[in-house]
Amino acid sequence: GKQRTVFAPGNRIRMNMLPMLLNVLLPWGAFTVCCGMTSFRYMYSAAGLVEAVLAFFVVIWLFTAATAYLARKGNAEPTWWTYVALTLGVAVFAGTCCGLLNFTILTKPYFNILDLKVVHQLDAGRELGQNLMDAGILYFAEGNHLDAMKSWHFKNGVLYCVAPVTDGAQPQTRSYDFWAVGKDCCATSTSDFRCGRDWGSASSRAGIRVLDEGDVTNYRLAVQQAETLYGILAAHPVFVTWEHDPVHEVNSWYEKAFRNYAFMVAVAFVLSLLAMVLTICRFAWIGRARSAYSMEFEDDAARSSQGARRPTYAAAAAGDSRA
């Protein structure tokens, strides 16, 4: 009888629903776990645990890849091991990358601010910046405002804008240590500051500390230029983004990170399901089409059989001589 193979024309492969279901859920589950572990609290406070979980999934992927290789080495038939090795590897890699991106942009800044102090009734003219290096959210006292006339900028690819927070008089500390900041929100030739949604609101007197080292370096250079231009001193500048409700703003970072995570998990499920559907269609198609190889083999077989039935010239000549 015929050998059962998907590569033989006309043969079909029976699809088992359980492997198909597992091959949808396993890559999706790996993406969900890897993305979740690298997106949220564990990545911030228990990085060792995250690394252990990722290593566990890498070991599982290596096992499936080795099993797929051995299965293909002994038998050229397509198997689910090859599929799961490929999709699981992609899921672990993509989940880790998406989670780290989500963490770097949104979740890490959220936890950084959460671990710092909240300062109330801060008078920018009476307090030194060096005394508030552990502050994350600053609420300024009534009467404190942005002094746009002493604002300036520094250009390094983007425009880094700074403006001091004052109480309307010369600071008693003789140092302008608190600066509102933003990017690409000021003029390049005059004193001008329009950074943040609430820069023009008289009721806005709060800020969220800027902690990114690269941004802090560029803002410090902008302050140094303002010191030279206006003849002022900023001994220990603290940089904040000007906000009306900083707590709500910080909480929105985490909420956005969770929405991003939920969206990525949903997309991963759809892609996993789509990959399975395409694979099933491919498996169903294999064996139906008459490949060039099978046609060549059939032509060779036909020519061989015709050659066996056709009398050769030597045999015909021998028959004539006997006659």
Residue 67, phi then psi, degrees to nearest 5: -65, -40
Domain ranges of the chain: 17-113+256-289, 118-247
User: How many other CB atoms are there within 10 angstroms of residue 11's CB atom?
Assistant: 14
Say which residue, 197 or 100, is predicted with more confidence: 100
Instruction: Please tell me the predicted confidence (pLDDT) of residue 201.
Output: 77
CB–CB of 146/193 below 8 Å?
yes
Least trusted range by pLDDT, from 11-15, 90-94, 277-281: 11-15
Least trusted range by pLDDT, from 13-22, 82-91, 125-134, 216-225: 13-22
User: How many other CB atoms are there within 10 angstroms of residue 266's CB atom?
Assistant: 11
Instruction: Please tell me the predicted confidence (pLDDT) of residue 117.
Output: 96
77-81, 96-100, 124-128, 201-205: which is most confident: 96-100
CB–CB of 39/259 below 8 Å?
no
Cα–Cα distance, 2 to 152 (Å, whole number): 83
Percent of the chain with pLDDT over 70: 80
Confidence of residue 309 (pLDDT cuts 50, 70, 90): low
Q: Which amino acid does the sequence have at 146?
A: L
Q: What is the pLDDT of residues 220-264, one digit of tens each?
A: 999 999 999 999 999 999 999 999 999 999 999 999 999 999 999
Q: Which of 123, 130, 150, 142 is nearest to 223 (CA)?
A: 150
Q: Which residues pair with 180 in a beta bridge?
A: 163, 240
Q: Which residues pair with 140 in a beta bridge?
A: 122
Residue linked to tokens 């089409």? 289
Cα–Cα distance, 234 to 164 (Å, whole number): 9
Cα–Cα distance, 191 to 148 (Å, whole number): 6
Instruction: Please tell me the predicted confidence (pLDDT) of residue 303.
Output: 55
Q: What is the pLDDT of residues 277-307, one digit of tens each?
A: 888 887 666 655 554 444 444 455 555 555 5
